[in-house]
Amino acid sequence: LAGTRIICDRKFLLECKNSPAARTPPCCLPQTPGVTSLAQSSLVKLEELKERNESEEAVPGEQPRDRLP
């Protein structure tokens, strides 16, 4: 089988990384939890971590257990 080989230099690829098209998902991309979007369980865990961090910051002077030297 014959194919076409596309060759791009490093500078071009690094410039593409910052283009607006590379930062937005395609409009017709389906929402698949865990693949194209965060899984629902991941969202719940993220909220729990956020609440835990906020509660640790609310208690001044007390050092969190997981950060002890």
pLDDT recorded at residue 63? 58
Q: Reduced to 3 states, what is the DSSP secondary structure of residue 49?
A: helix
Single-letter residue type at 51: E
Compute the C-alpha angle 12/23/20, nearest 5°. 65
Q: What is the spatial distance between Cα 38 and Cα 31, in angstroms, rounded to a whole number?
A: 9
Give me the mean pLDDT over the 10-14 stretch: 91
Could you tell me the pTM of the whole model? 0.31
How large is the average pLDDT for residues 35-64?
Answer: 72
> Is residue 30's pLDDT more than 70?
yes
